[in-house]
Amino acid sequence: MSAHSPVLISDLLKQAKVALESQRYEQAHAACIDVLKRDPRQSEAFYLLGILTADHDNHAKACELYDRALAISDEGRFNAQKARSLIALNRRAEAIDAAERAGRQMSLDAYTLDTIGVVFSRAGLHEKAVGFYEKATEQAPENPSYWYNLATALQFSGKLEAAEAALRETLALDGQHVKAWAALSQLGRVPSNPVELKKLTELFETLNEPDQKLQIGHAIAKAHEDAKDASLSMQWLAKAKSAKRAELKPASVKDVALFEAARETTSIKSEGYHDASPIFVIGLPRTGTTLVDRILSSHPEIVSAGELTDFALALKRAATTPSRFVLDPETLKVASDLDLKAIGESYIKSARRVAGQAPRFIDKMPLNFFYAAIIHQALPNARIICLRRHPADSVLSNYRQLFATGFSYYDYALDLEQTAEYYAGFDGLMAAFRDALPPDRFTEVHYEGVVADLEGEARRLIAFCGLEWDPTCINFHQNSAPVATASSVQVRQPLYSSSVGRWKRYRNDMEPALNVLQEKGFLDLDS
């Protein structure tokens, strides 16, 4: 082609795609605009501009661009990318619809198949995601990200051996895939043999990103814990969390404001939306919420909808408070001025997209504990079950947990003392809710009590929910429904008591937190 030959539209689109893949966004944008000036009906240009815009976290604008592409050509990949932006905007129902439209189309490429799987995963539909990930790995077996996504969906669906195999495939392709190592440790499959530990330790020392050091450090800590070396495990946790903790502002001030704002919601009064189908299981993470969810959802009239963000989102959208956080003091403070009946109705409609039409469904989002009083006013017939656990075990289990690093709500768990302070704030808030909410709508259950008397506590909770007893509830470990939480491995086993009093094995390394608990009257270390 001579210097004076016109550049073909197909060549410009190729240039845009290559530039986009290498994150040369200005060049990609220019090429797409050039294409559209020549031919405004080039759907590919709108599609590529949509991806570019989504890469810059402007998902609302990206959806507009995907819609322009779809108006010209209803392609599966266009729908898939639109679904991904919709789920990023927390518009789950629309995202599911778009993903389902994409999935019905033939001859989808691996990238599109994986994208559909990601949307279903983020929507809580893990079993539905598995098939798309499997097809993606069949088409592109050399891509470690596709294997990792498949492994995660398999784990949450209860296929633990298959999940381990997929993680091993991931690591065979990329031995430094930190998320795969972290996931393998959650499965309890990271051997504590010197060779594998040496690999992980060497990898930890090469990493610079705090999030990556956090993930690999947690995996190493879990390996030492499995080897019964509690002290070395805690040392590694401290090392793993230090870099992440250093880059963040202290969480305590933010948390105190949240607890104070939540406590004020006990004075709210509202007619509410009278639907008795939701059962909210709340509490600190890692204190037995998943266990209770499995016990209840083993009942034939109850399904688990997983950890939904729907109530928080419905409240935030109605509040229109300016912060970028869904959960913030400002939103809690204006709740009394909102139409809580409409919020309750909106929540039910949204949650039903996951829960289906079962008579009762469980929303097991632990952090909904901040909203307990608001939930009661918005949905006065809903049941709220709050998990409690020994203070020191609660602190330890939260500190040991690798939480998603993209959510600042869990920053407290980067520091032992702050975790103890957070427990104190939680306990005070639950005391306020216990006094303010009716006992036939709000109840507490202790993890230790469930372990000591599974059937007795299960019967009490089923009666609290207004249902007849069903003996399948005590066989919760046979429940085949997906579990998308850190307890996805444990709750597929019969009930065990080894987690009760676990903090005593870590007593020397927990001293800063134990001192806080003792000062606040939760613990007597001298007895």
pLDDT, one tens digit per residue, over 391-446 is 999 999 999 999 987 778 999 999 999 999 999 999 999 999 999 999 999 999 99
pLDDT of residue 494: 59
Residue 490 has pLDDT above 60, yes or no: no
227 lies in a domain? no
Question: What average pLDDT does the chain have?
Answer: 92
Q: Structural domain tally of the chain?
A: 1
Report DSSP state, residue 302. Answer: E
pLDDT of residue 525: 83
Residue 310 has pLDDT above 50, yes or no: yes
Residue 88 has pLDDT above 60, yes or no: yes
463 lies in a domain? yes
Q: Specify whether the CB–CB gap between 147 and 164 falls below 8 A.
A: no
319 lies in a domain? yes
128 lies in a domain? no
The 3-state secondary structure of 358-383 reads CCEEEECCHHHHHHHHHHHHHCCCCE
498 lies in a domain? yes
The residues near 408 (Cβ < 8 Å, ≥ 6 apart) are: 248, 251, 254, 325
What is residue 443's three-state secondary structure? strand
448 lies in a domain? yes
Backbone angles phi, psi at 205, to 5 degrees: -70, -20
Backbone angles phi, psi at 280, to 5 degrees: -90, 120
- Where in the sequence is the domain holding 291, given as residue range(s)? 252-519
Region 116-144: what's the mean pLDDT?
A: 96
Region 235-239: what's the mean pLDDT?
A: 97
Q: What's the pTM?
A: 0.85
Residue 343 has pLDDT above 70, yes or no: yes
More confident residue, 6 or 338: 338
412 lies in a domain? yes
336 lies in a domain? yes
The CATH number of residue 379's host domain is 3.40.50.300
Q: How confident is the model at residue 4 (pLDDT cuts 50, 70, 90)?
A: very low
Sole residue written with tokens 């993930």: 215
SS3 content of the chain, % helix, strand, coil (to 5): 65, 5, 30
> Of 188-192, 198-202, 272-276, 398-402, where does mean pLDDT reach its minimum?
188-192
